[in-house]
Amino acid sequence: MSTEKFHHFGISFGVILAIFISSLAFSSTDPQRPEEVWVIRSVLDKQPRMLTLALDSACYLAYSLTRCQLYKAWKGGVSLDGAPYTDKKEIQPSSWGASYWTDSTRTNRWRAEKNGISVLNKIIHKGYRLKNNQIFLRFALVLSSSDTVWVEESPEFVRAKSGKIGLERTFKTLNVPAGVELNLSATGTQIALKPNGTTSYTAYFNPLPDQVPPIPKPDPIHAGRALMDKADCFTCHNIDEDEVGPSFKKIAQKYRYDQKNVVQLSLKIKNGSRGTWGNSLMNPHPNLNSADLTAIVEYIFTLKPKEPALVAKKSAKNTQDLPLKSKEQGFGAPLEGVHPSFDLVNLHTAAFKPRVGGLAFLSDGRLLVTTWDKVGGVYLLDGVTGGDASKISVKRIASGLAEPLGIEVVNDEIYVLQKQELTKLVDLDGDEVIDEYQTICNSWDVSADFHEFAFGLVYKEGYFYATLSMAMRLKPDEKQLPDRGKTIKIAKNGSFEVVNFGLRTPNGIGLGVDNELFVTDNQGQWLPANKLIHVKKGEYHGMQWGWLSADPAPEMAMPAIWLPENDIGNSPSEPVLIREGIFKGQMLHGDVTFGGINRDFLEKIEGQYQGAVFMFSQGFEAGVNRLRWGPDGALYVGEVGMMGGGWSWRDRLSGLQRLKYNGKSTFEMLAVRAQPKGFEIEFTEPLKQNTIIRPADLWMQQWWYLPTKNYGGPKMDLEKLKPTRITISADRKRVAIEVPNLKPKHVVYFQLPKQLKSQSGQSLWSGETWYTLNVIPRNL
């Protein structure tokens, strides 16, 4: 039977799968467009670590890279739903159409036998390469003898002249020991693989009619709930439990169901609001009309309990906020503009405005950008150091990656952290387009949960470091997988070990002070505020979902700096060390939801890092996700927004910008240092001659945090501090503050008097800071 082979349909994956994705490629006018996408990594059909191939419009394949097996061959397509694709959480991609064949019972498996006895220890997916529109998957079969057998598989769609269609699978084996027999159960038969040779097997299928994507059936649900599902409501709220915002049941319980409150709540949704349930900002929804708003509010009131439960009142001292002296920019309110000592330029354009997952530089100064979107791409940007976006060339060199939220360059070799794998990208033919995706490590625990992100990537002394967030939508009988909520250390041989644990959503890891590793974590259940954490072996950081033992959880390690929710951050991201200038030795970190960049001053007291966080700069296009210093000394800022604007700054979802020092001096606090009887504040410039600061001019508070199962947490035992003595140094650059009743393991807040001026006449850029006082020094 003669056949015609098809490597794939010959047009873009975006066209093949046009029903669920608009386009995965640049426009046809892009002169440097690489080979079109036809391979994609994702969760599929509630199964993690899946590889989907579009071989033909009539044939899709999906491989389980966990089992190293073909999972499914079908006619139809894929619905790319989920956070990076359609901005929806609690959902992942799924296949649609009719199956030619499915390994639904997981009966397919590899066998390696010698003298009738199994010698197969484990099988590992080692990546794939692309050549001439063909894919070659590579597996390593590790035998009990410690030998490793290599198998390379290449699938092709075939169509016989008789009209029958089929799947031809070609296998090449290498390093098979004498006497070892390899077999694969596949598509209802046993395939015997030739040792150290090539084997081809073709399975023919009955033709299937044209497939039509499923038409969403109108659910018999309230019209308001349907509108909420389409909007971003469930990004910050849930039905029963508090998250960023209160549960919808709690909202329904708070208000009387009458026309006045329907109108009031409708206006809150339309215009946005803050203050009713704390300082978190609810995004405005100006595009919803009055009928839609009323329907949403009416649905919320359907959740009102018939007999409202009694709500326990918390101690007032733990929930109240003491009034601040002011609520002006930089003095009790967020900054609004770009730091005066830096110039900000856009590197994004209308044609290239990425949702940045990772940034890294090659040795020649070109910038690599990964994107957290439907492309899952890696882009190579030339000319970025010139600061002129019109002169930057952009070339997509890789695609189809699963949520690549980290990238690192080691000796000009490119490594990308995908959602469920650390991958090395290799260009085999010198055209700078990636041909081979080599698996370095994919052995940590994963599920299909949308929130199981992998963040990073850092390379230090021969090892990679990354962080793994926890799942968020477990059923009552489910537990977190053992590797979730941890910092992991990955060797190039694919092994990994756990460094610390008890993290929630650690979207930031970087090298900082003393070349030490630091991680940022996002507030939530069991994390009452955001954190900057010094990574130390074996430390537990409080997120009890990841404590799987029946024994009590260990004591939570204190962060180097608490980052109070809504005061200075909501979603802290990647930290970087400042290597030059007046802030040399300090750190910066971004924030996705609160926006902007903050500055971190750290000192070591009795062997433990602690210090102060300062507002540094706002004015960016979107929430700040990734930071990288370029070879030109400028800071490159990668920006992102997630899930319909719910995890974003001002509903903005993408951007790439450059922040470069302009030589201007800015008057601000340079450092805050703990002293045995108080603190010392150092300024970037001397204070104006004859400046006097009275104790009453300085506004100070202290509090501590108690981790609970609630989302976020109050400031416990919040109290105003009363300085007794303030002394200005002879050079007027330092101010010593004596403060009684300071307590260790507390956050101390400072707001300086707004009227302070520098010797050059400048006003303070920002007059507030938060110092995490883990230890009170005993002596200087």
- How high does pLDDT run on average in the chain? 89
- Alpha-carbon distance of 418 to 561, in angstroms, equals 28
Q: Provide the pLDDT confidence category of residue 35 given band limits of 50, 70 and 90.
A: very low
Helix axes 290-302, 259-271, angle to 10 degrees: 120
Q: Which residue has the higher pLDDT, 280 or 506?
A: 506
- The answer to whether 647 touches 599, Cβ cutoff 8 Å, is no
Helix axes 223-230, 290-302, angle to 10 degrees: 110
What phi and psi values does residue 389 have, to the nearest 5 degrees? Answer: -60, -30
| Three-state secondary-structure class, residue 233 | helix
- The answer to whether 120 touches 136, Cβ cutoff 8 Å, is no
pLDDT in tens, 214-265: 886 665 677 777 777 666 677 678 787 777 778 888 888 888 888 888 888 8
| Three-state secondary-structure class, residue 337 | coil
- The answer to whether 464 touches 458, Cβ cutoff 8 Å, is yes
Nearest Cα to 402, choosing from 424, 419, 423, 378? 419
- The answer to whether 250 touches 240, Cβ cutoff 8 Å, is no
- Alpha-carbon distance of 297 to 265, in angstroms, equals 7
The residues with which 252 forms a beta bridge, in sequence order, are none
Largest CA distance in the chain: 98
Position 15 scores a pLDDT of: 36
Q: Provide the pLDDT confidence category of residue 298 given band limits of 50, 70 and 90.
A: confident
pLDDT in tens, 324-382: 556 789 999 999 999 999 999 999 999 999 999 999 999 999 999 999 999 999 999 99
Whether the predicted pLDDT of 274 surpasses 90: no
C-alpha dihedral sign at 760, 763, 764, 767: positive
Position 242 scores a pLDDT of: 74
- Alpha-carbon distance of 531 to 524, in angstroms, equals 11
pLDDT in tens, 374-411: 999 999 999 999 999 999 999 999 999 999 999 999 99
Share of the chain above pLDDT 70, in %: 89
C-alpha dihedral sign at 747, 673, 567, 329: positive
- Alpha-carbon distance of 521 to 707, in angstroms, equals 14
Position 531 scores a pLDDT of: 98
Whether the predicted pLDDT of 16 surpasses 50: no
- Alpha-carbon distance of 609 to 541, in angstroms, equals 15
- The answer to whether 713 touches 529, Cβ cutoff 8 Å, is yes
Helix or strand run (H / E) with residue 263: helix 259-271
Please give the DSSP secondary-structure letter assigned to residue 391: G
- Alpha-carbon distance of 131 to 538, in angstroms, equals 44
- The answer to whether 635 touches 660, Cβ cutoff 8 Å, is yes
Position 767 scores a pLDDT of: 97
In this structure, which long-range contacts are made by residues 194-202, counting pairs with CB atoms below 8 Å and at least 24 apart in sequence? 197/172, 197/173, 198/170, 198/171, 198/172, 199/170, 199/171, 199/173, 200/168, 200/169, 200/170, 200/171, 201/168, 201/169, 201/171, 202/3, 202/158, 202/166, 202/167, 202/168, 202/169
Q: Tell me what the mean pLDDT of segment 722-741 comes to.
A: 97
Position 482 scores a pLDDT of: 96
- Within 10 angstroms of residue 582's Cβ, the number of other Cβ atoms is 14
- Within 10 angstroms of residue 73's Cβ, the number of other Cβ atoms is 24
- The answer to whether 600 touches 561, Cβ cutoff 8 Å, is yes
The residues with which 510 forms a beta bridge, in sequence order, are 518
Q: CA geometry: angle at 658 spanning 657 and 662, to 5°? A: 145
Position 266 scores a pLDDT of: 84
Position 632 scores a pLDDT of: 96
Whether the predicted pLDDT of 318 surpasses 80: no
Distance (Å) of CA 738 to CA 649, 677, 726: 38, 5, 6
- Alpha-carbon distance of 448 to 685, in angstroms, equals 53
Q: CA geometry: angle at 406 spanning 401 and 412, to 5°? A: 95
Nearest Cα to 325, choosing from 780, 698, 54? 698
- Within 10 angstroms of residue 117's Cβ, the number of other Cβ atoms is 7
Position 316 scores a pLDDT of: 36
Q: Provide the pLDDT confidence category of residue 555 given band limits of 50, 70 and 90.
A: very high
pLDDT in tens, 112-155: 999 999 999 999 999 999 998 899 999 999 999 999 999 999 99
Nearest Cα to 733, choosing from 677, 665, 676, 780? 665
Whether the predicted pLDDT of 509 surpasses 90: yes
Position 219 scores a pLDDT of: 55
Position 315 scores a pLDDT of: 39
Whether the predicted pLDDT of 419 surpasses 80: yes
Nearest Cα to 573, choosing from 647, 500, 515? 647
- Alpha-carbon distance of 381 to 93, in angstroms, equals 30
Q: Could you write out the DSSP letters of every residue in 624-675? A: EEEEEE-TTSPEEEEEE-BTTTTBSBTTB-EEEEEEEE-S----SEEEEEEE
Counted residue by residue, the chain has a size of 780
- Alpha-carbon distance of 301 to 130, in angstroms, equals 55
- Alpha-carbon distance of 685 to 754, in angstroms, equals 16
Nearest Cα to 365, choosing from 345, 387, 337? 387
- Alpha-carbon distance of 577 to 579, in angstroms, equals 6
Position 233 scores a pLDDT of: 77
Q: Could you write out the DSSP letters of every residue in 563-588? A: E-BTTTBSSEEEEEE--SSTTTT-EE
| Three-state secondary-structure class, residue 533 | strand
Give every CB contact of residue 31 below 8 A, 6+ residues apart in sequence.
Answer: none
| Three-state secondary-structure class, residue 299 | helix
Whether the predicted pLDDT of 8 surpasses 70: no
| Helix and strand numbers, DSSP H then E, in the chain | 8, 49
- Alpha-carbon distance of 252 to 298, in angstroms, equals 10
- The answer to whether 497 touches 486, Cβ cutoff 8 Å, is no
Position 14 scores a pLDDT of: 37
Give every CB contact of residue 645 below 8 A, 6+ residues apart in sequence.
Answer: 87, 232, 235, 283, 651, 652, 653
- Within 10 angstroms of residue 517's Cβ, the number of other Cβ atoms is 20
Q: Could you write out the DSSP letters of every residue in 55-91? A: EETTEEEEEETTTTEEEEEEEEEEE--SHHHHS-SS-
